[in-house]
Amino acid sequence: MEQIKLTINGREVTGNKGQSILEIAIANGISIPNLCYNKNLKVYGACGLCVVEVEKVPKLLRACATVATDGMVVTTNTPRVMQARKIALELLMSDHEGDCKGPCHLNCPARTDIQGYVKQIALGNDTEAVKIIKDKISLPASIGRVCPHPCEEECRRQFVEQPLSIAYLKAFAADNDMASADPFKPVVAAANGKKVGIVGGGPAGLNAAYQLAVKGYAVTVMDMMPEMGGMLRYGIPEYRLPKAVLAAEIKQIEALGVTMCNNVKVGKDVTLEALRESYDAVLVAVGAWKSTGVGCEGDKLDGVLGGIDVLREVNLGARPNLGKNVAVVGGGNVAMDACRTAVRLGAENVYVIYRRTRAEAPAEDLEIEEAIEEGVDFKWLTNPAEIIGENGKVTKVKLQVMELGEPDASGRRSPVPVEGKFEILDVDTVISAIGQRCALEGFEALELTKKGTIVADEAVCTTNLPGVFAAGDATNRGPSIAVRAIGEANDAAAAIDAYLSGKALIKVEPYYSKRNKDDIDFSAYEKKARAEMSCKDPAYRKGNFDAVINGFTEEQARQEAARCLECGCHDYEECRLIDFANNQPINPSRLDGGKHSCFKEQKLVTIERDQGKCILCNMCVRTCREEAQKGILGLVHRGFQTVIKPEFMDPATIADCVNCHKCADVCPTGALKILK
């Protein structure tokens, strides 16, 4: 075979006469994007991604269809080539009707593979489910019990009847795994000799410790409290999160080789500078432990307490006497925890004061409903105007009655006082649950925001001090839900790993194809009611701190998990189209217009075809004809209306699909799915 020489991207390579530029590039380990080339098939040249520039040739050439010549000089990544490739990708993606990832995944702050672990639960593989969850969330049994599940807000099953009970499924799988004879243990990389110090043993600190330990780092977690867990241990009541569950999960993290040191406070027992000298990198994840005051006259009286302070005291084992009448100010989950805790501490009349309506309260509706069941009286559209006392002690709270005013620029109606209208409550204690602040004594060297939180890069969690990172409630926007702190901890762990490995600190948000829910016919799905979580009777639970929920039964969990619509692409990890789409910034929306007909068919018995994901590369048709020699698939219609459809001949030919699957193997986009 006669050989030729050519230059590709400045590198001299050899090939055989008659080979294409693409064939020679592949043989020499040079990557040129392509979606319609296969060495076993005739050249098709449809996708337009493999374009290259050739010296002295004015137009771009398709590498798959251009025969190389001796002395040819080829460049695969010039600005002109990249622009043409970008347009080709944008054209393909603008006509691509499919979800790379399910909406649940995209709305999870930790970016957990929800579809993946829910499927494993449906199949009865709880340990495999936990393996998937722990790739992002190291405390699944705990988080599954307390997370306000933003994932469920975007679950498309709600357009059939109700969203999946994702959070409870997470807790179910984690409980089963921990109780099994062989619970999941991640593979831990060999020790790399680098040390990381983490200040704060809450969800952010513990999650970062897990991620870094798995990568081979020697991790030490320091916390000012007697036990690890942060707000999960000291800010959430036992009835919502049994501390034995949390302790068991923390023990699993410790078993990875993580050193845990309690009763260590920066600024008192150790300095930040000393930590920087002792460790190769430091992560600050100290949370927000100060309650925000009510902000009205009398809020310094004896008997005015912070919600976080009350919850911490109770979780430390105390049973404070709050008196008979307790008012809780706030409408979030901390307010719900505080009012329900007050009930359990023996208060006879517990009020929740919130300046907006129930519909606008940030607390979970279930928490509000359970509080009402336990006897809590909600004073919607009221706000403390004054806290009244005698001899320095709270006796009453004067409430300003509110109403919703005109919508502001965001469209939200703000509460405004109703002039001259007040209500007075007799109270022994007022608990403020309207927000939290950071206590950052000992961290004065860190740059802070105007809100008193740590300034940290939102992508890679770096601070103004080299080698010091920050994540969780103590950063930027301040306190939020635990799973958001965990998501930041994942970013911080990845950034610390890159920093200590000498890599660039870059976080690139991937491009995802997303379906418009309005284009989906949900009426085709059979209605199956969401599994109802049973819980203890209100009359019983209000007198103790026992766990409120009873947990799913085996049958409930499997059936609930099976309700998943599997919105995300089954072939995402192998999808070449999305891989190339993430190689350079693209904006397919600028080319939005009409789309090909989008439908799913299962007429091939063993393979489902999703026309919405099809890019007409014709790989399946050519493979069926040229390799399998069956010709079952073919192009139907012309121009923009072209689609790929089965061409039925006889039952014996169709039956060949059962053992073939070659078309699905070559599909670059996940348009073909093996059914059986």
- Can you spell out the DSSP letters for 256-308? TT-EEE-S--BTTTB-HHHHHHHSSEEEE-----EEPP--SBTTTSBTEEEHH
Would you state the structure tokens that stand for residue 151, as one six-digit string? 């994932």
Other CB atoms within 10 Å distance of the CB of residue 450: 5
Which residue type is seen at 667? Answer: C
3-state per-residue secondary structure call for 357-387 = CHHHCCCCHHHHHHHHHCCCEEEECEEEEEE
- Residues 6 or more apart whose CB falls under 8 angstroms from that of 402 comprise 355, 356, 381, 382, 383, 415, 416, 417, 418
Tell me: the pLDDT tens digits for 400-416? 999 998 887 777 788 99
Q: Quote the CA–CA distance of 132 and 149 in Å, as a whole number.
A: 17
| CA-based nearest residue to 168, from 184, 182, 152, 153 | 152
Which residue type is seen at 284? Answer: V
Pick the more confident residue, 599 or 306.
Answer: 306
Count, residues in the chain: 676
Q: Which H helix or E strand runs over 581?
A: helix 576-581
Pick the more confident residue, 602 or 218.
Answer: 218
What pLDDT does residue 649 have? 62
Please check the confidence at residue 632 and state whether its pLDDT lies above 90. no
What pLDDT does residue 599 have? 80
Tell me: the pLDDT tens digits for 206-260? 999 999 999 999 999 999 999 999 999 999 999 999 999 999 999 999 999 999 9
| CA-based nearest residue to 219, from 196, 201, 191, 190 | 196
What pLDDT does residue 654 have? 72
Average pLDDT estimate for 104-123: 97
* Dihedral sign from CA coordinates of 544, 548, 551, 556: positive
- Give one word for 204, left, alpha or beta, with left for phi > 0 and alpha for psi -120 to 50: alpha
| CA-based nearest residue to 100, from 575, 522, 618 | 575
Would you state the structure tokens that stand for residue 189, as one six-digit string? 């990389």
Please check the confidence at residue 646 and state whether its pLDDT lies above 80. no
Tell me the chain's radius of gyration from C-alpha atoms: 30
What pLDDT does residue 647 have? 67
Q: What is the mean pLDDT of the chain?
A: 94
What pLDDT does residue 97 have? 87
Please check the confidence at residue 262 and state whether its pLDDT lies above 70. yes
Which residue type is seen at 578? Answer: I
Lowest-pLDDT range of 43-47, 537-541, 657-661: 657-661
Average pLDDT estimate for 521-548: 94
What pLDDT does residue 648 have? 62
> Hey, is 179 helix, strand or coil?
helix
CB-based contact 580:50 (threshold 8 Å):
no
What pLDDT does residue 604 have? 67
Please check the confidence at residue 533 and state whether its pLDDT lies above 90. yes
Tell me: the pLDDT tens digits for 186-217? 999 999 999 999 999 999 999 999 999 999 99
Tell me: the pLDDT tens digits for 143-165? 999 999 999 999 999 999 999 99
Please check the confidence at residue 594 and state whether its pLDDT lies above 80. no
| CA-based nearest residue to 193, from 218, 219, 220 | 218
Please check the confidence at residue 426 and state whether its pLDDT lies above 70. yes
Lowest-pLDDT range of 64-78, 219-233, 625-639: 625-639
The domains found in the chain, sorted by start residue, are: 3-94 (3.10.20.740), 103-184+511-537 (1.10.1060.10), 195-289+438-500 (3.50.50.60), 295-302+320-428 (3.50.50.60), 597-674 (3.30.70.20)
Q: How confident is the model at residue 116 (pLDDT cuts 50, 70, 90)?
A: very high
- Residues 6 or more apart whose CB falls under 8 angstroms from that of 263 comprise 223, 224, 225, 226, 269
Q: Quote the CA–CA distance of 351 and 374 in Å, as a whole number.
A: 12
pTM of the model: 0.92
Which residue type is seen at 379? Answer: K
- Give Cα separations from 208 to 111, 135, 495, 588, 669 (angstroms): 15, 11, 11, 35, 34
What pLDDT does residue 392 have? 95
- Terminal alpha carbon distance of the chain: 44
CB-based contact 162:185 (threshold 8 Å):
no
